Amino acid sequence: MTRLRRLLLNLFDGWWQLRRRFPAALLDELAGAIAAGEREHLGEVRFAVESRLPPLAVLEGLDAPRRAQQVFAQLRVWDTEHNSGVLLYVLMAEHRIEIVADRGIAARVSAAEWQAVCARMREHYARGQWREGSLQGIADAHALLVRHFPGRGEPTPDELSDRPVLL
């Protein structure tokens, strides 16, 4: 995607779509899904949605993967005992989904597995199914974490907030 096209997308996709597609009730449901899934593995899942990037940042070359890394750091997803944080990041203006996994998870879960999660989410989002796509992504992330980073049969501390973040 060209920088000019990205700039136009980020100029005209407003914050109003963010609240319409991710109302408070859906955020509560997503938080519950994150909390329930985390009981089964040692990972910590965060979910962040951004309506658009600032136009100046786009002109300076900021893209979805780099922004996801920034949000990963900003939300301190890396700050877990087992280096087991995972961020699901959605950039609505550019129709991009990025998953950033901390080094403990990245060593066990392949990029192809994360890309498959993104693809399934994107399919739902393309049909306007924001709830279903988000819940699918969270469920898929939990399934990968259960397989590659299972719990030890005892409750694990909740190190990061389960509440999705709207940026």
- The pTM of this model reads 0.92
Q: Which residues have CB under 8 Å from 113's CB, separation 6+?
A: 144
Q: Strands, E, within 34-154: which ranges?
A: 44-50, 85-91, 96-101
**Distance, CA of 22 to chain centre:** 13
* CATH code: domain of residue 76: 3.10.310.50
Close Cβ partners of 40 (under 8 Å, ≥ 6 residues apart):
142, 145, 146, 150, 151
Domain of residue 22 covers: 3-166
Number of domains in the chain: 1
pLDDT per residue as tens digits for the range 113-152: 999 999 999 999 999 999 999 999 999 999 999 999 898 7
